[in-house]
Each structure stands twice: as structure tokens, then as C-alpha cells.
Chain A
């Protein structure tokens, strides 16, 4: 039985793994219990700065710490990081301060809190900022590993995590192979490539198994890094498979699908189908119900894969 895990727990564990580095500091805006930075806070209160419900303030406090040689890891809900977007733009990305921002509870899958809490645009907006690395890992242990790797980054980053538990994708061996900026191939097939991030990596794996039963062999990639996009891998898969599908719990505008579309259009046009939120806001509901209603689960990925294959010249 595959373990059910939430990627936000990996962030909390990643911070614990980093704690021996005394330059690592943690910032919170009243949601540490939810983003899981609370674990670090309990063990290292002197290196944790709780700033109350003030996201804009938190962004610049983090920048000030980074400018003084510290490695700030700041978290809140994905949607509330957006309240400080201009602060991230002007106060963090522009001066290239290595502040690591984690937005938890991203996407429709966040569920019953409803549309005000379901960021479906975070990956898109942070991707537009120069200097920013943008990531969205798919499970707890990959999030933990990538959080640890972030501490060596010399520029700022945004990482989205998810609230709810899903089957774990990675194992110790695959996690050890993860690199920021490199997609991780989970299975290989020649007919079409599925590029997914976050909770939709699991949906893509389910889709791949079902397609295989019909004789369609697909590649599945955990595209945990949206920026810098692993353009070499995407172009190789475009050449090898001749058709691509992106899948993300995010708007089809500007996120993983947008990034891949830009790359393909400029370099190697092949059929691309984007599975994502179709330019609409969500609503309250169970996470899986929302994936079904808004066209994001494995059934929709299967249909998209068949469309992409049919469009091959």
C-alpha cells in the first residue's frame, strides 16, 4: 500500500534537515502550523521570526535577513504570498536576495476552504520575475529533498506545496537523484509524454497505467521545477514522443503548461494539450471532487493524451 502523504509535511521536515546550518532562519505569518514550519519553530525559537498576519512585512524582513548573510525560509499560504507580490518583486527578486518562499495549500485540491484559499495563479506570476526559481514538488520526500537543496541556491525561490494527502510518488533512490531545474522521469514510453507537477503527478501516473493497458506507452515526468524549465528534457521528449501533455492544479495560463507552450512554439512545435484550471475560480468541495469537476484528474489526462496523439502529423 502506497503511503498517503502531504507535500507540506516535506517542507517542515526539510527545514529540520537544514537546522544544523545556523544561517538558516524561518519566518512565519501566523500559519506555521499549516505550512509546517512550526516544527522548526518549536526546536529553534531563537531562529524563528513570527510576524503575525503581515505578509508584506514578512517579505522585506526576510530580505533584510538575507542581505545580512542569513538564509531565510518564509512561508504562508500560496494565496497569501500573493498579497506581498510587489514586495517579492521589488524587495526580493530585484536585488536578488536568496529568500526562499514557500506557499502551502496551493491549487483547487486545497478543498473545502473554497476559492479564496485556492491559488491557481502563483506559479504563473512568480515565473515572470527575473532571478526567481519556481517549484512545485509532488510529495513529502521530494519536497523535503528540494527544500534542502534550496539552501545552496544563490537567488530567491518560490515553492508551492499542497495541503492534502496523496499517494507518495518517490522513493529514497529517486529522491536522491532530484536536482533543482531538472525534470525527473518516472516512467518512459514513446507515444506521448505527460509533464506534471504537484498532486497531478499522481494523476498522470494513474493515467499512464490505464493508457498502457490500451497499448499506449507514455513517459511521465515529475516537473517539480517550473523555472528554470528543463528545456533540454522537454525538447528531447518532443522529439522522441512527438506530442506532450502538461498537467497541473493551476491555471492553464502561465504555469507549467504556459512555460512548455512557450518553449515548444519557439523551438520545436509539436502537439501540446494542457490539463489545468480553465481560466475560472474554484469553490468549496473535497479535493478529489474538485479535480473531477474542474477537469484535472486522470480521466482528463487520458483524454488529453489521446487528443495529443491524434494530432501527431
Chain B
């Protein structure tokens, strides 16, 4: 599929996007089950934003993944790889069968997203806190090229504990990078426990605002709000913009929702069956 026309013309309806998101959720749970490992929780919390971006906004070409003037999408929380693979496969970057090889030897679907292995992946992640800085480099390059391409970055909320995120936040605002747009997937859970038990975040929007960013909060599972947030970010031209998306870890699968155990664990056979029943 080619989406380099961009804009809102022919934008799919919210119901269609929700249908795509549901299919992606099924793919996420299924590939993690098949691999016996992976990170379903943070993939399910992020997927609605991924679907909105890939289906309505990103100027990318599945038939030419390295098209130099494509928009960039940087998945900084690289463990949300099942989410990325589900939307990239849906967008035509590779066949759905590849999802079955997730985490297997030689697979194009590596455990954490890796640009060297997967068509459509712009950033090799896996170590938290680095993606925003990489996005700044891409945004500088776009500015030097006098290109209108946009750089989107997705961060986790636990990831905000990494100091490098704030080094990057400071420099993006200092350099007034209005071609840099960030989603924070505020699902309130990290590897060991709830974020606020591990390290209290206090007022996340106020932190970003204090670093010089334009900030907006949304419900990250309300497709209409997600689409509006993307339009809002596109309209911010004075500097970088961040959307704090309040989400539910494991969204869509009852026993995974808000459950720290499913940050990085695969469902059993019985749990898979239940999840697929719920994801109808």
C-alpha cells in the first residue's frame, strides 16, 4: 500500500480503524503465544495509535520501505515489537506469515524492533531511552533537506525514567523542532510493577511543558481522540509536540488489562483461547 499522498482525503472511518486495531490485537496475542515469549501488554496499549498513524497519516511506501523522503516512525519502546509487526504486516510491508516466526532464529521479526531485519522499521530499539534522540537526528536531517517529512516517536511512560529522554526533550525544544511529534503511551505499568510504585512520575504533562513542549492529553484508545491528536500535533509549528495518551496495558484482553504480569509474558493455550474469544 502506498500512502505518500498523505492528508485526510479518503481517510478511513473510525469504525474501519477500530476493526483494523482489533485484527492487530489478535495478531499480537497470537504471535506472542506462538513465540512463547514477548511483550503483549505494551503492544495492546499502543496499537490504536499505531493504527491511526499508519492508516491515516504516515507518508510511507510499503513497496519502497527505504524511500528517503518518507515520514519516520520511531518505536522507542522497542519491546512493543508485536504491535509494530502487526501494523507493518497489515500495511503491506511483509506477509502475515512472517508473524509466525516472531523471535525465532533467522526471523525478520526480531524480539525487539530492528531496522536491520524488518522492512518498515526505522529504528533499532530494545534499550529504552534512545528513540527520542534518534528522532531528533532524523528531524535535523529533514530540516537540512528542506523536506516536509515528519518524525513521529513513541515512548513508554516507564521509559521516561531514563535520563536520556530528558536530555533529548531539552534539546528538541531548544532547537525548535516543529517536525518532531511524540506519543507517550501512558499505560502506568512497567516491567516489575506499576510505574508509580517503581518511580512516581508526578505530573507528566507538566514535566513536558516545563521542558518547552506543546502538550495534549488524550484517551489513547478513543480512535476519534487519537485522530484529532494527530491533527493537533501537525498544527503545532513552533516546536516539538507531545501527546500523553492515557491507555490501559493489555487493552482488549480482560486478564491482561492493567496486569503487570503481562508486560512481558506469553499467554497459555487456554488464555489464548479466551483472548481470541474476547477479541471479536
Interface residues of A (CB under 8 A from B): 25, 46-47, 49, 51-52, 54, 56-70, 72, 86-87, 90-91, 94-96
Q: Which of B25-33, B129-137, B220-228, B249-257 contacts A (4 or more CB under 8 A)?
A: B129-137
User: In the assembly, what is the distance between CA of A52 and CA of B115, in Å?
Assistant: 28
- Which residue of the partner chain, among A52, A54, A65, contacts B140 with CB atoms under 8 Å? A65
User: Which B residues have a C-beta under 8 Å from some C-beta of A?
Assistant: 68, 114-116, 122-124, 126-127, 129-131, 133-142, 144-145, 163-164, 167-168, 170-171, 174-175
Docked pose: A245 CA to B73 CA in angstroms: 51
Asked whether A54 lies within 8 Å of B137 as measured between CB atoms, the reply is no
Nearest residue, chain A, Cβ from B139: A64
In Å, the complex CA distance between A25 and B133 comes to 16
Residues of B within 8 A of A67 (CB): 115, 122-123, 134, 137-138, 141
B-side binding surface: helix, strand, loop or mixed?
Answer: helix
CB closest residue in chain A, given B135:
A64
Known interface pairs A64-B136, A68-B141, A90-B127; A95-B171 also in contact (CB < 8 Å): no
Given A95-B115, A95-B116, verify A61-B164 contact (CB < 8 Å). Answer: no
Establish whether residues B116 and A49, one from each chain, have CB atoms under 8 Å apart when the complex forms: no
- Say yes or no: A62-B167 contact (C-beta < 8 A), given A25-B144, A70-B144, A94-B124: no
Give the CA-CA distance A42 to B141 in the complex, in Å: 20
Q: Which residue of B lies closest to A66 (CB)?
A: B137
Contacts A64-B134, A95-B115 known; A87 to B122 CB distance under 8 Å? Answer: no
Closest to A96 in B: B116
Chain B residue contacts of A94, Cβ below 8 A:
116, 124
Instruction: Contact check, A51 vs B171: say whether CB atoms are below 8 A apart.
Output: yes
- Docked complex Cα distance between A82 and B137 (Å): 20
Chain A residue with the shortest CB-CB distance to B68: A69
Distance in Å: Cβ of B261 to nearest Cβ of chain A: 27
Whole-angstrom distance between the Cβ of A147 and the nearest chain B Cβ: 21
